[in-house]
Amino acid sequence: MTPKSEPSSPTNAASLAHSPSQLPMSASDQRLVLQLATNLAHRLLEQKQHAELERRKSQLRNGTSCWMPRVDIFDDPDSGNIVALFELPGVRREDARVNVIDGKLVVEGERIMRFKRSFRPTGSWVESDQRTVDDEGNVNHSAAQVPRSVAELRYGRFRREFPLPDGITPSDVHVLLENGMLHIQWPRQKPTGTSPKRAFNGLIDESASARKRPKASGSGSAL
């Protein structure tokens, strides 16, 4: 005969119901656990930021840093043009280049750390015009030499490229750098007409040849 299992005694059932793993935590214990978790999260974040800062410093020293600027591309089917809007705050016109290489739009350049060591605020907002800012504080500094307690901005060389429609040439591309935003426009399709040849050197859009002055006719003068 198979022996029958004995039912659990009331004492064993009570001990299981009140085991330490099932007892509710007190408010003080909950605060302690929360504080430990918060401290651990802060420490991990500091270690991550420190590692990222060291990685960027190493890249700057070795000349291998190359980051990608963020971009929005506006592709309105009702428009004949496509517009790309690149986020490049702090990048000057002479520090950026736009080219068409092997059928690709190539945006590249360098963002250099520039910050003002001292300035005088006026009112409730810090203005940065010549009347309120000490020009001596506007000095270029190497990102690898100046200590930063928080390092989230990217400096150094950047590059981004996108394929263009077949037949698009530099003369079909228009560029505007304004308020830290780089606007680039190109046609959705290759124009059928022949457009005047334009120099496309960096961000310089030499389109003067496309605006020819009318020739004088008879005794009249050109406008």
Q: What is the pLDDT of residue 64?
A: 56
Give residue 97's pLDDT.
93
pLDDT confidence of residue 147? 77
The pLDDT value recorded for residue 110 is 92
pLDDT digits (tens, 9 = 90+) for 79-108: 999 999 999 999 999 999 999 999 999 999
pLDDT digits (tens, 9 = 90+) for 156-197: 899 999 999 999 999 999 999 999 999 999 999 877 754 443
pLDDT confidence of residue 44: 86
Answering whether pTM is above 0.75, one says: no
CB atoms within 10 A of CB 86: 22
Q: Specify the CATH number of the domain 66-112+155-208.
A: 2.60.40.790
Q: What is the DSSP string of 16-63?
A: HHT-GGGSPPPHHHHHHHHHHHHHHHHHHHHHHHHHHHHHHHHHHHHT
Q: How does residue 124 score in pLDDT terms, banded at 50, 70 and 90?
A: low
Q: What is the mean pLDDT of the chain?
A: 72
Task: Answer yes or no: is pLDDT of 69 > 50.
Answer: yes
Question: CA-CA distance, 55 to 200, in Å (whole number)?
Answer: 35
Q: HSE (CB half, 13 Å, CA atoms) of 9?
A: 3
| Among 169, 165, 161, residue whose Cα is nearest residue 107 | 161
- Determine the pLDDT at residue 68: 92
Strands 174-178 and 181-187 come out as antiparallel
Confidence of residue 50 (pLDDT cuts 50, 70, 90): confident
Domain boundaries, the chain: 28-62, 66-112+155-208
Q: Would you put residue 63 in left (φ > 0), alpha (ψ -120 to 50) or beta?
A: left
CB 87 within 8 A of CB 71: yes
**Does residue 103 or residue 121 have the better pLDDT?**
103
Predicted confidence (pLDDT) at residue 151 exceeds the cutoff of 60: yes
| Whether the predicted pLDDT of 42 surpasses 70 | yes
Partners of 49 in beta bridges: none
